[in-house]
Structure 1
Amino acid sequence: MRDVFQQELHEVQERLVEIAELVAASMKNATTAFGDVNVELAEQVIEEDARIDELALSLDELAIQILARQQPVARDLRIVVSALRMSASLERMGDMAEHIAQLARYRFPERVVAKGLRGTFRKMGELDVEIVGKLVELLRTQNLTFAEEIRDIDDKIDELHVSVFDKVLSEKWSGSIGDTVDATLASRYHERFADHAVSIARKVKYLSTGEWAPDISATKKSAE
């Protein structure tokens, strides 16, 4: 029974990696669609989000079955429960990529953001693609170096997120109401995508070290 349990835990890890890889591909395509006004690619991202949702649900069902059959305790229990939470975060990351693609599709053939912000969003997209790539490797290898790198990238995305709001709230901003709404929504989607990656990284680190790092992002949100 112990061997079967270990095989099931390994399957949980493999499924998390599989979902993370799909999320990575989704965000890469979404940022390309967003920046290049590629409506076909945007629609592909939107359609493929259902696959991420399906795999996340399947993983949740596996985890619940493990809890029912194996009745794990201590660290094994934490692994299964954490997998459920990571699955939910990955599903939300897929949703953020889908939302970015939806903005590109809705505004086609126009660009989503005003010219003065395009460089900022290009950088945010690059950083989100980078952060989810690090997340895939973290889930695959459990190498905590990736967790630290994810946190550092998230800080850069937060800075860009703040800069977007500073821009659209400044007296020099000449964008329309639609431009303002699009910019704030898109910035929020990029920022939340990275926050979910940080949340997963914290859980992986906790499972490896037993130390629970304070949720800096949560504190930051409550202060806003």
Structure 2
Amino acid sequence: MPSFDLSKKLPLNFYHQDLLTAAQKLLGKILVRKIDNSFYLYTKIVETEAYSKNGDEASHSFKGKTKSNSVMFEGGGKLYVYFTYGMYYCSNIVIGNAEQGEAVLIRAAEPLNGFDILSINRFKKNKISEKEKFNLTSGPGKLSIALNITKNENGMDLLGNEIFILDNDDIPKNDIVTSKRIGITKSKDLLWRFFIKNNPYVSKK
């Protein structure tokens, strides 16, 4: 059972740094989901993708603010959740100033505790195989299902107490892999995907 200091939430200024810097700095940080007053799920962020309204046609914010993407324009430190493929929710961390329209998609995370809860959320059972274990949170839709993040959490303040991110040691530069983003057809040559080298929970190597 990991032990983390819940007072070490990332401060607001973390969410107001450069987008690509934030996308890399989020690697290794601890995404926390409160279950009840005495239990929290801890997951280590291992894969991210950056999205911007500036020069990035793959971003929801590229064509400007709408009702569905408005959280992206509220400024750093908010959780932006959207529904995709008619099946999955994806969890994003808003970065930058208000109206900047930038966010980092959390593509994958490594579970650190609560495997029984994560397993029930993902697979509707609490005993899973080793293969299923590494499939719990190895993708943006999988992660949101495992942590029970839905549209209800869209716009949540990451400085609050329900979903938040704890500081943790930075990942060394030589352990961060940079690549093109996954599953997009526009602005597909931008090297805006970042993941921890050799981590088994990364969605695609």
* Alignment TM class, shorter chain as reference: under 0.3
- Name whichever structure is richer in helix by fraction: 1
Name the TM-score, length of structure 1 as normaliser: 0.26
- Name whichever structure is richer in strand by fraction: 2
Name the TM-score, length of structure 2 as normaliser: 0.27
